[in-house]
Amino acid sequence: MSLFGNKKVVQPIAQSPTGKPETVIGANTTFVGTLKSDGNVRVDGSVEGEIEVLGNLIVGSTGRVIATLKAQNIHVSGAVKGEIIATEQLEISPSGKVWGDITAASLHIEPGGLFRGQSSMTSNIDEPLLLDAPRSRLNEEPSGV
């Protein structure tokens, strides 16, 4: 095996800090409704409705979601249609597809990832004051005359 050999990256199952698995929607599962969790959630199946997670949300490569998503960090390898709110980071992998508006503190789209919609960034930093427009030098009087 070469130093730069191809290695398939396997996403970890959503886990709590204690190492115990959290909520997993399996590849052969369809869920319709509102899903709320204080932990981490992984979606490999189909979800329609709303997902609100205090921890992290992973939409696996087989995940198909039509919903409003709210989580701390969101990683999309599957397909998501709807509004996404990530209080920290939204990451769209090469196989990930997102259609809808997103709000995130940080957005990372890997080459091959698809995003169609509008995005806005949240931040704790206040907006800077508008700077004055540069003055035209044509209206200035020549100096030293």
Closest CA to 29 of 62, 51, 58, 57: 62
What local confidence, expressed as pLDDT, does residue 122 receive? 81
Query: What is the domain count for the chain?
Result: 1
What residues in the chain have per-residue pLDDT under 50?
Answer: 1-4, 6-20
In a domain, 81, yes or no: yes
In a domain, 62, yes or no: yes
**Residue type, position 53, single letter:** V
In a domain, 134, yes or no: no
In a domain, 79, yes or no: yes
What local confidence, expressed as pLDDT, does residue 22 receive? 83
In a domain, 4, yes or no: no
Quote the domain boundaries for residue 107. Answer: 23-121
In a domain, 13, yes or no: no
Confirm if 45 and 62 have CB atoms less than 8 A apart.
yes
- Tell me how far CA of residue 135 lies from CA of 69, 132, 140, 145, in angstroms: 46, 8, 9, 20
In a domain, 37, yes or no: yes
**Residue type, position 75, single letter:** H
pTM of the predicted model, to two decimals?
0.73
CA–CA separation, 6 and 85 (whole Å): 33
DSSP line for 20-32: -B-EEE-TT-EEE
